[in-house]
Chain A
């Protein structure tokens, strides 16, 4: 297969967001006809950005794209489509109120002006025979299952004559049976000579179906090799590759003092949670967190961590099983800028966001402004927050200082359970150490649930680690030094 010319080459693609974040950094990618090319990487590794550049949504700041060896420049999705590149987005771009046929006909060239749907219905029959893609053209999208919606997306792309198909995390929303069906369809398309780019963060899943694998990490290509080369390798080598993706860099030296364990502050039993679409995001998991311990939930984003935290904090209903919290919850949310804080409000106002109802800060109608000011000053002093004053807007704080403010607020709540979601994501080393120290300190008063996508962080801090994959959890107990590979493999579903 390698001796054919690539249908698509991306050379030195670089994309910089808002002047500083390098989402893609000199990325090269070659895709051949009749090849299923898996593009692996964690969330934020730059996979989707790269594919958005390829499908004309973004423009690369540097680099070139070649189709059949000729340079091309896509200024809009339409141009990419005309050049035979079609993308099936992770979040389907379907109009829910419209029928299948209407969605397929939208923007499609070469349809008659009147009664365009009759043609669509005819063309749909072709797909049934060719790829086993059967679908009811008159059905409305909102009536369809997720798997069926995906079919519509694939048909939409194929009917536009795509020769390169990009599938962005196509399996993350599917049931095992649906995944089987999807793989059968992909194989048929491959036999037709189409090139398929398969974005995923699950190595285990694509090993059998893909021909070539490219791993992205932090915007760069970390590895690029034929799947056959991996499949034959030993377990140890596979794990090595997996860790290339999830990362195991410098583990900062963390001194953990011994703390006596107390009673369980969080008890999760056979917990079942549905996501917004109504499918199971968390599939009957059980674990408990005791006072004095740090329990880590690791996993690639989108494996049920979000709904789990929402359910524990009471922002999402529980569909089965139980979840008991003893006492109050302190919660450091992942989204510090829009959830954990209100950027336009002052530091003082942000310092009471979760506690403004507390009788120290407000009466029946009014806020107790002096005590809020004093409180904010106290937090700034205690947590070394660099700020010009308590009445400056929170948006003027640096990322690390904003996180300290949120940390300060949540740690000072006397809660028995602290949930910290990606508490060090995007922070500098100094702030990371500070956050870690504070969390370790908090063990004296509380049990801690640390949700992190960063394995090294979890390894450094946690007493026990639960790896979440597809809504299930596998628990590992420390010390972890000889279990790192196993944990890494579990994270990517192997």
Chain B
């Protein structure tokens, strides 16, 4: 008997995709279990403990929801972008620019109090959209790979924020810490009860998901995205401009990430601080949120919650077992590995055949 790996021409069904995704998650948690074992922790006990402190507690649940807000905003936007085969890995930078613009609105603008929150979101959206727009121009004008430019722009955003909090925007009341001053009360988002869920951003995120769902199913833009993503040639035949489509999609996606940044500073931190504390890699994790959801924006609600759960679980593991919170990155990496592997397995099949005499 010999075997051959062949390309499987059939498109995997939804059920297959779903079960492979679940399998990937399962395998990743199994490997994490080995790490627990290596630290002398019973993995079963660890997992029950994590579950009871996250899904099983009010605080844990509220934290999952809070962390899913930026993931949902970025993830749903990225889902739209990835359908056009434009590799925007710059959501992280777009979040930071959104946070920065919102901070400017909160601290340095003179908007009346009742307009402050809407303006803060608006500025966040615009800043994120501009940050998303630049790579689009660089690609259409100079044919520069968006993978590189979006990545570079993440770092440019990071250092701009660092520059501001160490320099011109450094808070006068902060005793030498690298923060801006605190936002006025009128620029702070309302929270649900004693949780940290800043509900206006959550609602915006849900509206965005609905809007993206509507775009994909009912809007002209969605129709154009579907045509060019399936067949660029048919797109040209139908007179659809690739760059015009990507332009709008990047405005939405960059803007959504900007909103996420605005929500984080105005809802959680109430000041601008070190970028790693504002975003914690939401922009990169959102790639996973979008990718896990495949092509359905509604599923990003689930995948964003899932990734938020992994974040909160990481915090819990840190607190309960004294393991570093970096375990979150390990699981993210592992899930991705297994997903790519299953992606490959879905596209290929092994055919067994007896050797010809």
Contact = CB atoms under 8 A, between A and B. Distances in A.
Do A and B share a direct contact in the complex (Cβ within 8 angstroms)? Answer: yes
Interface of A: 315, 331, 333, 335, 338-345, 349, 353-354, 356-357, 362, 365-367, 369
A349 B223 contact: yes
B143 to A, nearest CB: 15
Contacts of B239: 354, 357
Interface stretch (B228-236, B249-257, B262-270): B228-236
A356 B226 contact: no
B341 to A, nearest CB: 25
Nearest to A355: B238
A196 B238 CA distance: 45
Given A345-B226, A349-B226, A365 B234 contact: no
Nearest to B222: A367
A213 to B, nearest CB: 35
A338 B234 contact: yes
Which 5 residue pairs across A and B have the least CB separation, nearest first? Answer: A339-B233, A342-B230, A344-B230, A339-B237, A338-B231
B218 A353 contact: no
Contacts of B236: 315, 339
A153 B40 CA distance: 65
Interface residues of B, number: 15
B175 interface: no
B182 to A, nearest CB: 40
A19 to B, nearest CB: 11
A366 B233 contact: no
B241 to A, nearest CB: 12
A353 B220 contact: no
Interface of B: 218-221, 223, 226-227, 230-231, 233-234, 236-239
Contacts of B230: 342-345
Contacts of B223: 349, 356, 362, 367
B218 A369 contact: yes
Given A339-B237, A345-B226, A356-B238, A366 B220 contact: yes
A343 B239 CA distance: 18
B234 A342 contact: yes
B219 A365 contact: yes
Overall SS of chain A's interface: loop
Contacts of A333: 237
B220 A354 contact: no
Nearest to B234: A342
B218 to A, nearest CB: 5
Given A340-B237, A353-B227, A353-B237, 15 more contacts: A331-B237, A339-B231, A339-B234, A341-B234, A342-B226, A342-B230, A343-B230, A343-B231, A345-B226, A345-B227, A353-B234, A354-B239, A366-B218, A366-B219, A366-B220
A367 B237 CA distance: 19
B219 A353 contact: no
Given A349-B226, A353-B227, A356-B238, A338 B233 contact: yes
A351 B158 CA distance: 47
B136 to A, nearest CB: 20
A232 B234 CA distance: 49
B17 to A, nearest CB: 15
Nearest to A372: B223
Contacts of B231: 338-339, 342-343
A315 B239 CA distance: 9
A362 B227 CA distance: 16
Nearest to A331: B237
A341 B230 CA distance: 10
Contacts of B220: 356-357, 362, 365-367
B207 to A, nearest CB: 16
Contacts of A367: 218-220, 223
A339 B240 CA distance: 12
Residue from B219, B221, B238 with most neighbouring chain A CB atoms (10 Å): B238
24 contacts: A315-B236, A333-B237, A335-B233, A338-B231, A340-B234, A341-B234, A342-B226, A343-B231, A345-B226, A345-B227, A345-B230, A349-B223, A353-B234, A354-B237, A354-B238, A356-B238, A362-B220, A362-B223, A365-B220, A365-B221, A366-B219, A366-B220, A367-B218, A367-B219
